Structure 1
Amino acid sequence: MTSEEKRSWIYAVVGAGVAAVYFATVLSQVPGADVTRIAYVRPMLIAIAAGIVLGILAGIAAAVFSPKDAGRTDERDRRINRRGEHAGFYVMSVAAIVPLALAMAEAAHFWIANTLYLAFVLATVASSIVKIVLYRRGF
């Protein structure tokens, strides 16, 4: 497994894991509550920061345990990365329609922010999955 494939696995697991914890924590407060009173900003910022820090730390750990592969990329890695990033872009472009529509409908900021965060998470996970599939099935 190349270092780039490991990085894709890390982004997929960390992105999905951190988002799952965030959404489980915040959305569990929604039933029977006024969403305008739910404190979501701080947990979202913590989730974003945790995702970044965990991704960096896991990338460093992967490089330490496989030093010969760390930082080595070839043309195949670059092409797979490009395809994965394109997929993530398309997912983000489509998913961003929901928060845009919510903003136009003057929905609560809670829903706009959370659907936008979900769009970013879906784009990251989709990009990583496409890269993993391309590594596993061949490119």
Structure 2
Amino acid sequence: MTLTEKRAWITLVVTVVAYTVYVIVITARVDGRSLPDVPYAGPLLTTIVGAMVAAIVIEIVLSAVTPNASRVQDVRDKEIHRLGEYVGQSFVTIGAVSAMLMAVVEWDPFWIANVIYLCFVLAAVLGAVAKVIVYRRTMPEW
């Protein structure tokens, strides 16, 4: 398994775990209030930063544990990375447009922030899934 494939797996697992933790923390804080009244900024920022730090630490640990793993990227690795990024970027755009429309109609900042976070999560997860699938199979022909 190449380093780029490991990165895809790390991104997939860390993103899903971080977002799940965020949802659990927010739903635990509801306590009879409506969702927009729940303090969300701290958990949102903590899970985002925590996911980034965790991904970096896991990659460093895996690199130390498997020093003989291939770090060379060939053309196929670059194409797989590009394909995964294309798959994921559509959700970044969907999130940005959704957030803009929600701001225009003056929705609560809770919903705007959460739609952006969800779309970032979907972009990372779907991009990583696409990369993992292509690593296990062949590149699609366009």
TM-score w.r.t. length of structure 2: 0.89
1:31 & 1:83 partners in 2: Cα distance? 43
**Partner residue in 1 for 2:68:** 68
**Partner residue in 2 for 1:20:** 20
CA positional deviation for 1:97: 3.1
2:28 & 2:96 partners in 1: Cα distance? 23
Check conservation: 2:12, 2:125, Cα contact below 8 A. Answer: yes
**Partner residue in 2 for 1:91:** 91
CA positional deviation for 1:128: 0.5
**Partner residue in 1 for 2:80:** 80
Check conservation: 2:36, 2:111, Cα contact below 8 A. Answer: no
2:18 & 2:37 partners in 1: Cα distance? 23
Cα deviations by residue, 1:97-122 (Å, 9 ceiling, x for unpaired): 33223212211111111111111111
**Partner residue in 1 for 2:44:** 44
List alignment gaps of at least 5 residues for structure 2: none
Check conservation: 1:11, 1:124, Cα contact below 8 A. Answer: yes
Deviating beyond 6 angstroms after TM superposition, the runs of 4 or more aligned structure 1 residues are none
Percent sequence identity over aligned pairs: 35
TM-score w.r.t. length of structure 1: 0.91
CA positional deviation for 1:62: 1.5
Size of the aligned set, in residue pairs, is 139
Check conservation: 2:92, 2:120, Cα contact below 8 A. Answer: yes
